[in-house]
Structure 1
Amino acid sequence: MVEQTDARAIAMGRWWRFKVRGLDCQNEVRLLKEVLVPLVGDEQRLSFQPKHGFLDIDVEAGIGVEAVIAAVSTTGMTAELLTANAFTEDKAEAGGCSSCSGEPTPVEQMLPDRPDSVIFKIQGMDCGDEVAVLKREVGPIVGLGNLSFDLINGRMSIAGASDALHHTEILKAVERTGMRAELWKEGVNSAGAQAEQRRRRIQAALTIASGVLVVAGFAIHARASGLAAVLHESLAREAHPPLLAMLAYSLAILSAVRYVAPKAVLAARRLRPDMNLLMIVAVAGALGIGQWFEAATVAFFFALALALEAWSLGRARRAVAALMDIAPDSARIRDAAGVEKDVPVADVAVGTQVIVPPGGKIPLDGRVVAGTSAVDQAPITGESVPVTVAQGATVFAGTINGMGAIEIVTTRPASDTTLARIVRMVGEAQSKRAPTEQWVERFARIYTPVVMALALAVFLVPPLLLGGSSAAWFYQALVLLVIACPCALVISTPVSIVAGLTGAARQGVLVKGGVHLETPARITAIAMDKTGTLTLGRPKVIELIPLGGRDELELLAVAAAIEARSEHPIARAILDAAAERGVDVVPAKAVTALPGKGVVGAIDGREAWVGSPGYLGERLGDAGDDALAVQLHRIAAAGLTGIIVGEAKSVIGLIAVGDAMRPEARQIVAQLHELGIAQIVMLTGDSRAPAEAIARETGVDEVHAELLPEQKVEAIERLVAQHNLVAMVGDGVNDAPAMARSGLGIAMGAIGSDAAIETADIALMQDDLSRLPWLIRHSRATLAVIRQNIGFSLTVKLVFAGLTLLGMASLWGAIAADVGASLLVVLNGMRLVGRDQRVR
């Protein structure tokens, strides 16, 4: 409950700001408008930021805080006013948009800080049915809006459950469901985890025992009565199975329902029938009409289905955990006394010197302070080519050192490395359910009661209206209840989503939620920043124009000698070009920098200089020729910077420097067009000439240059008005407002960048534009797998429902088909983990 606060709350501006849990997209915005507009009187008094979960309400609307909270709660979401500290953090997360505008920010009422969410590890939560049961038991205690679940990782999060009394009530409520709960903290191994493993082993052993006992009972039964007598469809059995067979069947049923019965009893007590209760009813009904073999088979197959669901979730959990396992558990450090020793990575403080031997894994994020090597960053970025590192380079935990020993100084603790953040965000992403997943859950809630009603009709209508056998139609009603089980349908989608998320992470693509995993498949337009996205983001020598009988190597040698001591970006570009061409650079002497003009020095006693076009007139007066002016004009028209190199009073050549296009950019743009992206637009703050030059080279459809951040947002809004879904690709920092306005924000080169990882919906961890078309193909493949799974699951159920109505289905056949469908859709979904960069 939210306390009464009007008496002590102070409105420090025109707006209240609420944080709304569950506000993720425009669907929720529409729901909130439906309940809030009648209260405030005008839609203009409301403002929404779904990407960040913000709801702003004009204070002058006259609506009370409690009325807002109550209205929001009717939509299934929860709202709370932000404290001053929380508002500051959320504003920063939103990209600081309020500061961009210069307007006063919407300010909230002052409330006491709300405690952080408490997370429980739930033993036995393997299916959507268990989640539904937990909502019914725990929801009344803590408030349904405060509950959230991570099915893949088996965790339940409760907002505001801080005191010990609350914890005791929660634990008791979970125990009533037949499951167990314990407090969970990241990085802490608990006894509950071991108990969960024991439970899974016992469940697997009981399932195997049930199957063996069914086979044993069937063998005894068949030997005594004949195979046809056991398998025939008629209900007019001449006798019960032999006592020994009945004992085997009974033990098989007891083994199978060990973990089902407690949940079924709870469902019966609460008058909330679920699949556990339906299975128990089906087994009991089969026993009541003498179908011992089929009762045991149904029980075994249902237990097998539960075991398969637990196995599939376990495999998905292991796939996520494998991301973290790539980092070593210990690090070799050198202490202040110079002594080397191995210590657990969790005990290594920031600023510690760590030694990484050749071929070893880098244990923590850090900065190289000694040595040179090539580092394989594929575990983090998916990049197949090792990256050369030397003093000053940044390295990341989990990457693999090459043949050179290096020493690093750690820059992050083990709990906050780039790898650890990726793992956390993959885990968090699973809880942000995709639209398809939400649809499946809503469908299952309607589907199960409908089938129950249909099963009742199958039992009652034929005997009453058609004079059929009550026992025969009761049997068919039981078959319909069995095939109604929606677990295969419900579990296949989250498993496919987490497999898709994990597969993307393995390729260096961090997707922050199932909703964002599905979105790329529907993109029809893409806006891209230029610098660092379509281009390399750093100056590079594009063209060498030697004059006066010199060649390119001589031109580079003079320019590099003058710039050898400079750290200017253009100087670095010239030195890089010299290194690539094998030029032996001998630094010039008596080097003097002329700010804004150029650099002058001496080479072998001769004066040499490198300068801007403006310096040319000062240096040569009117001696410059027209041919030189034509070349400079051509370079400027191409959006490049012209650098003049000379000796004494003569010019020996020109160097054209610019932000070079990525080598793969043209091919990537072409691939995006082939994938059906109707419009690719460049949005850049750079001048028009270089922007248009890059656009011509890459094949971009439209260019908007010399834009301020707010103008990029306006350009995105125009695109949104023309297309169903627009993505914005940028660096995740400068382009944050445009990313927030677009339907999907994608950050380029986010490895090591906190801001980029936090801002974007999807982060391409390495500087590889080829991940963009791969992401679209991966998103479409994920949607295809989900549709295949849903279609297959529903087809199996419809076929057996039809056979049931025709009186041609059997209990054991129905449950076998359902288990087979569960296994096939899970295996189909897990294929997404292994999709690699080469898959088109």
Structure 2
Amino acid sequence: MPRRIDYRIQGLDCSEEVTILRREVGGKPGVIDLEFDVLNARMSVEFDADALSASEIVAAVDATGMKATPWERRLEGEEEPFWIRHGRLIMTAVSGMLLLAAFLTHWVMHGNLLDAFAGGHDAEHSFPLPVYLIYLGSVACGAWYVIPKALLAARRLRPDMNFLMVVAVVGAIIIGELFEAATVAFLFALSLLLEHWSVERARNAIGALLDLSPPTARYLCPDHGTIHEKPVEDVPLGAIVHVRPGEKIPLDGEVVKGISSVNQAPITGESMPVSKQLGDEVYAGTINQDGALEFRTTRAANDTTLARIIHMVESAQSRRAHSQQWVDRFSAYYTPAMMILAVSLAVLLPLLTMASWSEGVYRALVILVIACPCALVISTPVSIVSALTASARNGVLIKGGIFLETAGRIKVLALDKTGTLTQGKTQVQQIVPLSGHSERELLERAAALEAASEHPLARAILQKARELGVEVIPAEHYQAIRGKGGEGSIGGRQFWIGSHRMMHEKGQETPEIHAKAEELEDAGHTVVAIGNDTHICGLISIADSLRENVSQIIKDIKKAGVRWVIMLTGDNQGTAKAIAMEAGIDEYRCELLPEDKVEAIGHLVREYKEVAMVGDGVNDAPAMASATFGIAMGAMGTDAALETADVALMSDDLSKLPWLIRHSRRTLRNIQQNIIFALGLKLVFIVLTLFGLASLWMAIAADTGATLLVVFNSLRLLNRANSN
């Protein structure tokens, strides 16, 4: 019987550990699937409970030197045991102090700084016993967390960077290079500590998102009529929550009393506060500014928009970027190749030159040390995690590293019109009754047919009906006609409502009606026709205005590297042309049904390869799925948008699009810098080693320095959370 268990893995900090766990746990009979979230040190195992037990999974993890415990999200204020939090730091610090103590003791006992620094290399004396023991203590502390993984790699005949380091340290001890052995152990432990710290820094950045939501909420108890303050997890759905000015909103809900402005920047990245009043939605983690609010909760604490954002940012780690996959594939060949080079150097150097066997072994050990792929392994994941976190802070939710990379390669950007390029706040501009019908009669029938629709055009008609005091009685037996309109019964008679195309298909369009419809369309209006089984009752023209600064944003998108911007719309030729010209769009395609948009995207993908589709995440879901990746606009609070899109813009701010493209390209450059620097440094030291110009401590110092620079270069992306 299939079963899934999540574990917290102590010691899971990078893809190296993921590889080890996949090999040891994934190879067990009965394991169906393994998923990893390095950011939260979580492993999810799906397995056949009849073939494998949970205790066997834990034992397999323990055999790697890591520890597995059942997953539980830590409560506020809850901490891991002291040794788990600080053990790595303590052992590294002790290793460094013992290294310094041994060096100073050697210096004092011999009175020769150069001898102490050489640590016996080419020296004519042996180590004093106290110095020998202190150096061994430094090695033991530095290699404390490495030895179990190295032994596992040796047993499995799969050399990794832990194995390389242990071989280098043991080899240095055997040939009497205790100072360099201890230096290698200490600096490698320091580089692993840096790796652990960088991942912890990224974890804390995600934790900061979690901290946006307050842990408690004040709500009205319906039984007693009094205000209670309880953990947000205990607040029931439908409860009335009170929020004072300056407080964070604890849960998602709908305002039932009060007027205020709310800072939604923590969720959407919007710079300006948003006005909230009766009926408006509020979101957990946003900040109530200048007025008291009461709202009715609509989502549980674990299902708020903020909670879903955090979950998706965390799960994005499992969608590995192409660069991560490349590094993993490269490392699989790189480590064995370096071992072959080291062994060849140790054997051939004494045979082909006048060098001693000791010198050959020493240079081989230097090769092993500089071959350590620590900086290379960490070069991509920290960049990806930092970039994803910065995006979430800026109201851009990216579902994984693979999509983050793809955004920087976009050649064509396709946009839906309504609600994407335009504000989506459509208004009725003109009512044109025909065939003896009145304006009110026409509006009554249109509102009846659109009563259950959420389409922006329907909302405009219903809003106009409310403004004129028209009673809306929903049509009976209403049936939507995909991409065209709908039909229903009003007062026992069948009526239809739809686009100019539908009007033409009904065969009821006269030359006069056609001319009037074209006149309205040429003015940039969308025409909605209402008719019955014999004639057209009238036309309603509806218009929507472009979003602010759209033309400048389109220019910014092109400056960011997009070659072609195209608008796909179901609207008529006149409206599409007017909008495209005003926005500065390169090309438009109009009167498209949903399946036509899918076909158009498919053609663009075949021609340009890298194509993004921007829509509302619901109506445009098929087209977004057909594109290289889909981008949902205004996704905050919209389940379908959050689930279907590869990238979700939490607000309606189109300026996030050029920011996303630039951010993706910054991330790609950052990763390339890291990889080139890590590999370039290794190449330089390999050449120096072949000519006898590099030492063990120089090699490990260079590798640690490379790790340090790669980490800090990657973490710079955390600070790129400003859209302009």
TM-score calculated relative to the size of structure 2: 0.85
CA change 1:228–1:375 in 2 (3 A) is same
| Counterpart residue number, 2:194 | 308
C-alpha contact 2:254 2:281 (8 A) present in aligned 1: yes
How far apart are 1:571 and its partner, in Å? 7.8
Q: Which residue identity lines up with residue 55 of structure 2 in the other structure? A: T
Structure 2 distance, partners of 1:334, 1:423, is 28
CA change 1:122–1:201 in 2 (3 A) is same
Structure 2 distance, partners of 1:116, 1:728, is 37
C-alpha contact 2:31 2:52 (8 A) present in aligned 1: no
| Counterpart residue number, 1:215 | 100
- After superposition, give the CA deviation of every residue in 1:784-814 in whole Å (9 maximum; x if it has no partner): 0000000010011111111111111111111
1:216-255 superposed matches below 5 A:
216-225=101-110, 226-232=112-118, 235-255=121-141
CA change 1:190–1:671 in 2 (3 A) is closer
C-alpha contact 2:632 2:645 (8 A) present in aligned 1: yes
Q: Which residue identity lines up with residue 566 of structure 2 in the other structure? A: V
Does 2:575 correspond to 1:683?
Answer: no
Which one of 126, 146, 152 corresponds to residue 260 of structure 1?
Answer: 146
C-alpha contact 1:161 1:167 (8 A) present in aligned 2: no
Which one of 436, 446, 450 corresponds to residue 333 of structure 2?
Answer: 446
CA change 1:143–1:819 in 2 (3 A) is farther
The unaligned stretches of length 5 or more in structure 2 are: 431-450, 452-457, 475-514, 529-539
Q: Which residue identity lines up with residue 321 of structure 1 in the other structure? A: G
How far apart are 1:462 and its partner, in Å? 1.2
C-alpha contact 2:375 2:707 (8 A) present in aligned 1: yes
C-alpha contact 2:241 2:294 (8 A) present in aligned 1: yes
Structure 2 distance, partners of 1:750, 1:490, is 34
Does 2:692 correspond to 1:807?
Answer: yes
| Counterpart residue number, 2:303 | 416
How far apart are 1:194 and its partner, in Å? 1.6
C-alpha contact 2:30 2:49 (8 A) present in aligned 1: no
| Counterpart residue number, 1:672 | 557
Structure 2 distance, partners of 1:115, 1:686, is 49
CA change 1:354–1:594 in 2 (3 A) is closer
C-alpha contact 2:327 2:376 (8 A) present in aligned 1: yes
How far apart are 1:280 and its partner, in Å? 1.7
Structure 2 distance, partners of 1:592, 1:700, is 39
C-alpha contact 1:220 1:242 (8 A) present in aligned 2: no
How far apart are 1:273 and its partner, in Å? 2.4
Q: Which residue identity lines up with residue 691 of structure 1 in the other structure? A: A
Does 2:606 correspond to 1:724?
Answer: no
Structure 2 distance, partners of 1:814, 1:144, is 41
Does 2:12 correspond to 1:128?
Answer: no
Q: Which 10-residue stretch deviates more, 430-439 or 174-183?
A: 174-183
Structure 2 distance, partners of 1:262, 1:641, is 70
Which one of 266, 288, 299 corresponds to residue 185 of structure 2?
Answer: 299
Q: Which residue identity lines up with residue 712 of structure 1 in the other structure? A: K
Q: Which residue identity lines up with residue 134 of structure 1 in the other structure? A: L
CA change 1:542–1:474 in 2 (3 A) is farther
How far apart are 1:285 and its partner, in Å? 1.3
C-alpha contact 1:138 1:170 (8 A) present in aligned 2: yes
Identify which of structures 1 and 2 has the higher relative contact order when contacts are C-alpha pairs closer than 8 Å and 6+ apart.
2
How far apart are 1:234 and its partner, in Å? 8.1
| Counterpart residue number, 1:59 | none
- After superposition, give the CA deviation of every residue in 1:45-69 in whole Å (9 maximum; x if it has no partner): xxxxxxxxxxxxxxxxxxxxxxxxx
- After superposition, give the CA deviation of every residue in 1:255-293 in whole Å (9 maximum; x if it has no partner): 112212222222223333222222122112111121111
CA change 1:594–1:783 in 2 (3 A) is closer
Q: Which residue identity lines up with residue 147 of structure 2 in the other structure? A: A
How far apart are 1:350 and its partner, in Å? 0.9
Structure 1 distance, partners of 2:411, 2:706, is 34
C-alpha contact 1:346 1:414 (8 A) present in aligned 2: yes
Which one of 380, 398, 402 corresponds to residue 285 of structure 2?
Answer: 398
| Counterpart residue number, 2:590 | 705
How far apart are 1:679 and its partner, in Å? 1.4
| Counterpart residue number, 2:380 | 493
C-alpha contact 2:107 2:113 (8 A) present in aligned 1: yes
Which one of 631, 636, 649 corresponds to residue 746 of structure 1?
Answer: 631
| Counterpart residue number, 2:423 | 536
C-alpha contact 2:257 2:277 (8 A) present in aligned 1: yes
- After superposition, give the CA deviation of every residue in 1:419-458 in whole Å (9 maximum; x if it has no partner): 0000000010011000010000000110000000000011
Structure 2 distance, partners of 1:116, 1:667, is 53
Structure 1 distance, partners of 2:272, 2:569, is 30
CA change 1:374–1:541 in 2 (3 A) is farther
| Counterpart residue number, 1:270 | 156
How far apart are 1:663 and its partner, in Å? 1.4
SS in 1 for 2:53: helix
- After superposition, give the CA deviation of every residue in 1:568-623 in whole Å (9 maximum; x if it has no partner): 855898899xxxxxxxxxx99xx678999xxxxxxxxxxxxxxxxxxxxxxxxxxx
Q: Which residue identity lines up with residue 708 of structure 1 in the other structure? A: L
Aligned length: 648
CA RMSD of aligned residues (A): 2.9
| Counterpart residue number, 1:694 | 579
C-alpha contact 2:421 2:547 (8 A) present in aligned 1: yes
SS in 2 for 1:203: helix
SS in 1 for 2:544: strand
C-alpha contact 1:312 1:495 (8 A) present in aligned 2: yes
Which one of 673, 695, 710 corresponds to residue 825 of structure 1?
Answer: 710
| Counterpart residue number, 2:230 | 343
How far apart are 1:203 and its partner, in Å? 1.4
1:639-654 superposed matches below 5 A:
639-640=524-525
Which one of 265, 270, 277 corresponds to residue 378 of structure 1?
Answer: 265
| Counterpart residue number, 1:357 | 244
C-alpha contact 1:286 1:294 (8 A) present in aligned 2: yes
Does 2:65 correspond to 1:181?
Answer: no
Structure 1 distance, partners of 2:396, 2:412, is 20
CA change 1:189–1:158 in 2 (3 A) is farther
TM-score calculated relative to the size of structure 1: 0.73
Structure 2 distance, partners of 1:723, 1:161, is 44
How far apart are 1:657 and its partner, in Å? 5.7
Structure 1 distance, partners of 2:51, 2:246, is 49
C-alpha contact 1:380 1:399 (8 A) present in aligned 2: yes
Q: Which residue identity lines up with residue 107 of structure 2 in the other structure? A: A
Structure 1 distance, partners of 2:613, 2:520, is 30
C-alpha contact 1:135 1:144 (8 A) present in aligned 2: no
- After superposition, give the CA deviation of every residue in 1:167-188 in whole Å (9 maximum; x if it has no partner): 1111111111111101214577
Structure 1 distance, partners of 2:715, 2:32, is 31
Structure 2 distance, partners of 1:664, 1:574, is 28
C-alpha contact 1:534 1:661 (8 A) present in aligned 2: yes
| Counterpart residue number, 1:194 | 80
C-alpha contact 2:219 2:227 (8 A) present in aligned 1: yes
Which one of 494, 513, 516 corresponds to residue 403 of structure 2?
Answer: 516
- After superposition, give the CA deviation of every residue in 1:79-100 in whole Å (9 maximum; x if it has no partner): xxxxxxxxxxxxxxxxxxxxxx
How far apart are 1:143 and its partner, in Å? 5.8
Structure 1 distance, partners of 2:611, 2:233, is 42
Structure 1 distance, partners of 2:472, 2:46, is 62
How far apart are 1:140 and its partner, in Å? 2.4
Q: Which residue identity lines up with residue 786 of structure 1 in the other structure? A: I
| Counterpart residue number, 1:437 | 324
CA change 1:121–1:569 in 2 (3 A) is closer
- After superposition, give the CA deviation of every residue in 1:700-742 in whole Å (9 maximum; x if it has no partner): 1111111111010111111112212111000011111111111
CA change 1:235–1:217 in 2 (3 A) is closer
How far apart are 1:656 and its partner, in Å? 8.7
Structure 2 distance, partners of 1:571, 1:724, is 40
| Counterpart residue number, 2:351 | 464
1:741-780 superposed matches below 5 A:
741-780=626-665
Q: Which residue identity lines up with residue 314 of structure 1 in the other structure? A: E
How far apart are 1:775 and its partner, in Å? 0.4
How far apart are 1:641 and its partner, in Å? 6.6
| Counterpart residue number, 2:497 | none
| Counterpart residue number, 1:77 | none
Structure 1 distance, partners of 2:50, 2:307, is 29
CA change 1:371–1:182 in 2 (3 A) is same
SS in 2 for 1:364: coil
